[in-house]
Chains A and B, each alone.
Chain A
């Protein structure tokens, strides 16, 4: 089973990226995919939207999966694997979660068979240069465990600004692949999936 964690600050487009992933994994490859959503509080919207698009979604609410719901996440993954045996589980934590804690929890637990674990971090091209300093620590946490960084909303900035964003992301110590995308139009998403293969 491939476990994919899609992290990023609030409003960067994580849900849209996951919808694109689903198109590539389920529609084109026929993989069995389950999405686990950890939205704020009891009024999660992302899970509802994904269901509208016909996806199999499990909600984890009433806390964050990097602290109170960490055990809930592990239990949920165990149950999903036992009952549904999916090829891929995609987890979308809330925009404030620390993905490192989630990854450690998944790696350390017994009873879950994971062949591959990938951590995708989404940043927002439109807001990154204005906001990176304000959210330096959560960004550091996210980029510190990233296997792939997507610079989403690439249509909102110039190629030179994409270069500046890439350079700043490198300043955080991230050395992996960086890919500008426009998730709401599916631009460069095929390239993203190739990086996974």
Chain B
């Protein structure tokens, strides 16, 4: 893996469960989720990110799903998949950015989740392990030792 510390990204992962007040068309729901991801990119930049590694989400609702991804600081979002009529939804979000303050990013993320319809969020903390050569910010294996094979 890379060895420079500045390559260590700020990471945030979360599961979101929510529901619209009444069923909405897939396109309308997609717009809501796309705006959320775009705003999340802008929030990351405000939190100090100098580069967006990726901000990805997958939304599931009924038989439909939508994958959203943004990789540039302007917040442009690319989508794949399709949602049908949406009422209840679940969303998994994965944020990996470079340079953002983790606490500020999390605060902004939680504030943005409140803009989603009736959303509840479960944030998966990024800890990293004790191995100085491990750059996976979600690694929870404290016995983890990097070996040069």
Contacts and interface: CB of A to CB of B under 8 A. Distances in A.
A126 interface: yes
B13 A68 contact: no
Interface string B48-70: 00111110111000000101010
B67 A67 contact: no
Contacts of A127: 51, 71-72
Residues of A in contact with B, size category: 35 or more
A93 to B, nearest CB: 10
Interface string A57-95: 000001110111010000000000000000000000011
B58 A45 contact: yes
A137 B149 contact: no
B146 A68 contact: yes
Nearest to B125: A41
B78 interface: yes
B4 interface: yes
Contacts of A98: 1-2
B13 A43 contact: yes
A137 B4 contact: yes
B81 A63 contact: no
22 contacts: A41-B13, A41-B138, A43-B15, A44-B94, A45-B92, A48-B92, A52-B65, A62-B139, A63-B134, A64-B134, A64-B136, A64-B139, A67-B131, A67-B134, A67-B146, A68-B134, A68-B139, A70-B149, A105-B149, A126-B71, A134-B6, A184-B78
Per CB-CB distance, the 9 closest pairs between chain A and chain B, nearest first, are A41-B138, A11-B71, A10-B53, A11-B54, A43-B13, A67-B146, A138-B2, A49-B67, A45-B56
Interface of B: 1-4, 6-7, 9, 11, 13-15, 50-54, 56-58, 65, 67, 69, 71-72, 78, 80-81, 92, 94, 96, 98, 124, 126, 131, 133-141, 144, 146-147, 149
